């Protein structure tokens, strides 16, 4: 069981505060400072006002909850996703929004996972982080966090303006399950090729209301079951039968996200199609995702993808790999095998475009 440290921050707000927002620190560059020998370590969040005095101007009631042992994002997975969902579930009725400080490397995976776990979400869950530590003179951590807090606390007609899981980074707000990390050396680290930004932060924050999910009418509940018995099969020229067979025959494997060329095309080698067909007949779920950052899978458009449909490969439409793999984990954990195809082909949290040719 994960342990947490909870800190209430006195921002000298008027009574009552404009909004109540919880900051959840999982780890990552944004909350790190160097010690005497230069090694980065988490800073004391009870001193956050010393690093970010501008927080006093937001008129917010802030609570900071920090993992007792911060986790590098490269080590974050289903256990931490479940922990985050549980924190949000436990504090959902007391908070107007949540800001999650997270390492950038797997932020899109965690944001995607939570979008599928938090059914009926009507409050902002905004991920942010930084490329440089908060104490660095040119750090992006301060602006990213301030903007994320503003977005998480903004309401329209008394309801959350952004009632979904999103990533706030480099002056843009992107849908979490439409995002992927594209830069390691620039401040605009994330991209969303198949869905427009939910907001852009300039002199003021401009919300793209037509791109934001509507308030859900479902009762809020959390899906907590995962099946991590999945893998990714990336198609490439010259791939060999032994390598493909080794992946498809992995003991206990239940699902594959197959990254194909262009609009869902793959080689038509007899050995390849036979291996896929045999695996699918044995109960393996195979989802077809394009390697391209933009565009959509259209199985059957070309001869090189027609066979995939005939053997039972599921078209993943315009989902990112991050969304497809986490959606598959949640689906296999929560649903019967007979329900998975519908789950993967239809939008659950705005992760794919309805009506695209995905077969």
Contact partners, residue 30, CB within 8 Å, separation at least 6: 101, 128, 129, 130, 133, 134, 141, 144, 145
CB atoms within 10 A of CB 230: 22
Using alpha carbons only, what angle is made at residue 310 by residues 306 and 311, rounded to the nearest 5 degrees?
Answer: 120
**Distance separating alpha carbons of residues 104 and 132, to the nearest angstrom:** 11
Catalytic, 29? Answer yes
The catalytically annotated residue of 29, 63, 104, 296 is 29
> Helices in 62-129 by DSSP H: which ranges?
78-91, 107-117
Distance of CA 140 to the CA centre of its chain: 20
Residue 133 phi/psi, 5-degree rounding, is -55, 150
The residue assigned the tokens 């990112």 is 320
Please choose, from the candidates 262, 253, 324, 265, the residue with its C-alpha nearest in 3D space to the C-alpha of residue 293: 262
Q: How many residues does the chain have?
A: 359
As given in the structure block, the two tokens for residue 3 are 């342990």
Q: Are 42 and 31 in contact (CB under 8 A)?
A: yes
Residue 92 phi/psi, 5-degree rounding, is -60, -45
Instruction: Provide the annotated active-site residues.
Output: 29
């Amino acid at each position: 069981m994960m342990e947490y440290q909870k800190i209430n921050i006195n921002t000298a707000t008027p009574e009552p505060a404009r909004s109540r927002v919880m900051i959840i620190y999982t780890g990552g560059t944004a909350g790190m400072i160097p010690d005497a020998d230069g090694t980065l370590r988490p800073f004391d969040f009870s001193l956050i006002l010393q690093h970010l005095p501008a927080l006093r101007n937001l008129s917010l009631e802030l609570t900071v909850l920090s993992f007792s042992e911060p986790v590098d994002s490269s080590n974050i997975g289903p256990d931490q996703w479940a922990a985050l969902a549980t924190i949000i579930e436990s504090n959902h009725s007391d908070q107007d929004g949540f800001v999650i400080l997270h390492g950038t490397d797997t932020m899109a995976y965690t944001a995607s996972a939570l979008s599928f776990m938090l059914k009926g979400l009507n409050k902002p869950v905004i991920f942010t982080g930084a490329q440089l530590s908060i104490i660095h003179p040119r750090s992006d951590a301060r602006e990213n966090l301030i903007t994320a807090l503003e977005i998480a606390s903004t309401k329209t007609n008394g309801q959350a303006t952004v009632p979904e899981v999103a990533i706030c980074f480099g002056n843009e707000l992107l849908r979490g399950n439409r995002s992927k990390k594209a830069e390691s050396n620039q401040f605009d680290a994330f991209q969303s090729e198949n869905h427009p930004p939910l907001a852009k932060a300039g002199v003021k924050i401009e919300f793209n209301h037509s791109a934001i999910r509507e308030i859900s009418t479902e009762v809020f509940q959390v899906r907590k079951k995962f099946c991590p018995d999945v893998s990714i099969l990336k198609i490439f020229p010259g791939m060999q039968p032994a390598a493909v067979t080794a992946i498809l025959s992995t003991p206990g494997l239940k699902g594959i996200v197959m990254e194909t060329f262009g609009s869902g095309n793959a080689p038509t080698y007899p050995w390849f199609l036979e291996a896929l067909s045999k695996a699918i007949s044995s109960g393996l779920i195979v989802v077809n995702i394009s390697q391209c950052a933009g565009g959509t899978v259209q199985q059957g458009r070309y001869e090189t993808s027609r066979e995939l449909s005939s053997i039972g490969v599921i078209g993943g439409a315009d989902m990112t790999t991050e969304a497809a793999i986490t959606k598959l984990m949640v689906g296999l954990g929560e649903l019967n095998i007979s329900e998975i195809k519908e789950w993967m082909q239809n939008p659950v949290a705005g992760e794919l475009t309805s009506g695209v040719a995905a077969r």
